Amino acid sequence: MSDKAAGKREKNQAIVDAKIRACARDELASVGPVALSMRAIAREAGMASSAIYRYYPTREALLTALIVESYAELANALEAVTIAPGLYPELLWTLRANALRDWALANPHQFQLIYGTPIPDYQAPPETIPMAERVARCFLDLSPAEPATPVDDELAAQLEPLGGAPAAAILGALSQINGHVSLELAGHFTGTADPADLRWAHVIRTQVRTIGLDAD
């Protein structure tokens, strides 16, 4: 096969792959990850159900691709938020937290795919980890030299590869952010903190003090 023919074939395969993933995202929004059907995705993509398996040999492989893609989209949104190096880390924390929430509200099904209820009989493989770490790194890179509140020594030691005690504070705050967004998406603030903007702003301001980003 000539280089030109091979290049055309690769381009066509990339187009079909993108279409499959787009249809899979539509199906994800319609029925959720548990009921995700390869047959239904193939039908929406206008291809034989057997053909989709040439791109994704199992439903789990397609789920993994969607998870990696979702993490990458979120990481891109977070990395696009920048300020002058070394200036106002509390501002960058707030802006990136807001960017995470904005992305989640605009892409609720993708957010739930990566941070929601585990999918039965699916175990995320190691290839999802680098993208998940890329998201976390957008916040870990803002770690102060020392957290404003004490961190358990054993936990700090466990997280030493990520930065020790400051990393523990950052990851705790990030878990709180994802928890807040998950509750908001599920409608748990309806009738109490609805809309949730004021509660969200309070949570982020409190995090800035707890982490120690406003120490200066």
177 in a domain, yes or no? yes
- Helix ranges (H only) for the chain are 3-31, 38-45, 59-79, 89-106, 108-115, 129-140, 153-158, 165-185, 197-211
- Give the total number of structural domains in the chain: 2
Q: Are 171 and 136 in contact (CB under 8 A)?
A: yes
Same domain flag for 48 and 96: no
Per-residue model confidence as pLDDT tens digits over 2-20: 666 667 788 889 999 999 9
Q: Are 48 and 42 in contact (CB under 8 A)?
A: yes
Per-residue model confidence as pLDDT tens digits over 194-203: 899 999 999 9
216 in a domain, yes or no? no
Same domain flag for 195 and 140: yes
Per-residue model confidence as pLDDT tens digits over 48-58: 999 999 999 99
What one-letter code names the amino acid at 142? Answer: L
149 in a domain, yes or no? yes
Answer with the one of 21, 40, 57 that is the final residue of a domain: 57
CA distance 37 to 62: 10
pTM here is 0.90
Tokens read off for 86: 């070394």
CA distance 182 to 53: 32
Same domain flag for 35 and 92: no
Q: What's the domain range around 143? A: 64-211
Averaged over 176-181, what is the pLDDT? 97
Same domain flag for 72 and 165: yes
Q: For residue 151, give the CATH number of its domain.
A: 1.10.357.10
127 in a domain, yes or no? yes
**Would the CA dihedral through 190, 67, 168, 205 be positive or negative?**
negative
Per-residue model confidence as pLDDT tens digits over 69-124: 999 999 999 999 998 876 788 999 999 999 999 999 999 999 999 999 899 999 99
Nearest alpha-carbon partner for 142 in 78, 53, 197, 59: 78
Nearest alpha-carbon partner for 196 in 178, 209, 206, 183: 183
